[in-house]
Chain A
Amino acid sequence: MRFVDEFRDAGKARALAARIAALCEPGRSYRFMEVCGGHTHTIYKHGIEDFLPEAVRLVHGPGCPVCVIPMGRVDDAIAIARQPDVIMTSFGDMMRVPGGQGSFFDAKAAGADIRMVYSPLDALKIARAEPGKRVVFMAIGFETTAPSTAMTVLRAAADGVDNFAVFCNHVMIIPAIKAILDSPDLRLDGFLGPGHVSAVIGCRPYEFIARDHGRPLVCAGFEPLDILQSVHLLLRQLAEGRAQVENQYSRVVPWDGNPKALRVIGEVMEPRPYFEWRGLGFISHSALRIKEAYARFDAERIFDLPGVRVADPKACQCGEVLKGVLRPWECKVFGTACTPETPIGTCMVSSEGACAAYYAFGRFSRERVREASRT
């Protein structure tokens, strides 16, 4: 078993598709939000929507960590990178994300030392190799990624690598889902839960969605069959009048998550009173910062940051896309002024961003054709 190909079998996908169609009540339509950008990516890469009946619509959620970074934070990171003797390190996804004054790529072209890394541990390695420099890791991501940053800080502390620091932009999924549930302009029938976030936080934190909002949530894996089966489980709950949290991705997600990962996050980080999300605005207790005890690894304390709030460009409709209100190609600049090479908004940057996923996998044209053939 390689845990990939087995979950891409076309025959099984067709069987699931038939079950899904059979569960749809005639005349009813269903809107399910896939919270996680990883799901958005799979859905467009594998054309999952082609297996779903018209009545089932997947709505993209806010779970692309690159997409929700506000412009002001990008500017702050670039301000750090421009300091003398600083090496900024970042996941490749982040390099093209536009701030108010350009992206990491632009800053690099202008002379800043910004390097792409695969892991925060690679950033730590650079810090060891370059004791005369201060090496800052641009930490982004949900609870999936936060434990890795925390572990790296703990290792830096244990080994006394004092020229290493983290610019912490980790965000939390539950407050984002709450913000979505409180948004008045969105009707949703259920959620595909973010599988890899859940590997860390487990399934319990979602219980309020079922209990207080009467919406089912299914923690879903990332292969095509995972997504189809999760849609099937959601529809079955609705057909039976249930709203519960179910775990489709049990091969990876333990019901209680990863206790060690939660512990290291709690050791190194604490919730911020509030944090700005691109498109969603300020959400309270929605992000993490480095605790006082690890202040010497906290770039926010080490450097003076401009901390200026920058409004998104007028043309950008990422907020609507992130909330699932607008579909990517409905944005006025999609594919014209805004492309992966010259993104205006963040959703066009990461392969997990809804706009980039549409753009890369030709959904744009197919959707348009489908839309046109309807009228």
Chain B
Amino acid sequence: MCLGIPGELVAFGDDPPDLATVDVSGVRRRINIGLLEGEDLRPGDWVLVHVGFALSKISESEAQALLQFLEDMGQAYDDEIAAFRESSP
């Protein structure tokens, strides 16, 4: 119910204007984008889809930043493990 799924905007309709087509892992469906008024939406943008409506535009830069942070954390962890291994007799 509260599960939303990320979908990629692939096309916009003009009639009515608040419909757009999203692709969710290969499945295409028309959804309503009327709740994203004022957002600059283009094909290739990702949105969170919930019960037939786009609820939020997904920020690629925020997602990248988080993944990079986790990547660095993983790296630091691997380094620590390596150092730990080397230090143990």
- The minimal Cβ–Cβ distance linking A252 to chain B, given in whole angstroms, is 5
Which B residue's beta carbon lies closest to that of A232? B73
Would you call B56 and A254 a contact (CB within 8 A)?
yes
**B46-64 at interface with A (beta carbon < 8 Å):** 46, 48, 50-53, 55-56, 58-60, 62-64
Chain B interfacial residues counted at CB < 8 A: 35
CB of A251 within 8 A of chain B? yes
CB of A324 within 8 A of chain B? no
Number of residue pairs spanning A and B whose beta carbons lie under 8 angstroms apart: 137
B36 contact set on A, CB distance < 8 A? 258, 260
Would you call A253 and B56 a contact (CB within 8 A)?
yes
A: contact size bracket: 35 or more
Instruction: Give the A-binding residues of B (Cβ under 8 A).
Output: 1-4, 6, 25, 32, 34-38, 46, 48, 50-53, 55-56, 58-60, 62-64, 66-67, 70-71, 73-74, 76-78
Provide a sorted-by-A list of 14 A–B residue pairs whose CB atoms are within 8 angstroms. A1-B63, A14-B74, A15-B74, A37-B2, A63-B2, A91-B1, A118-B52, A141-B51, A145-B2, A194-B2, A250-B62, A251-B58, A252-B58, A352-B3
- Pick the 10 closest A-B CB pairs, nearest first: A119-B52, A251-B62, A15-B74, A3-B6, A15-B77, A251-B63, A199-B56, A260-B37, A250-B62, A38-B2
Instruction: Give the B-binding residues of A (Cβ under 8 A).
Output: 1-4, 6-7, 9, 11-12, 14-16, 18-19, 36-38, 41, 63-66, 91, 93, 118-122, 140-142, 144-145, 147-148, 151, 194, 196-197, 199-200, 222, 225, 229, 248, 250-254, 258, 260-261, 264, 350, 352
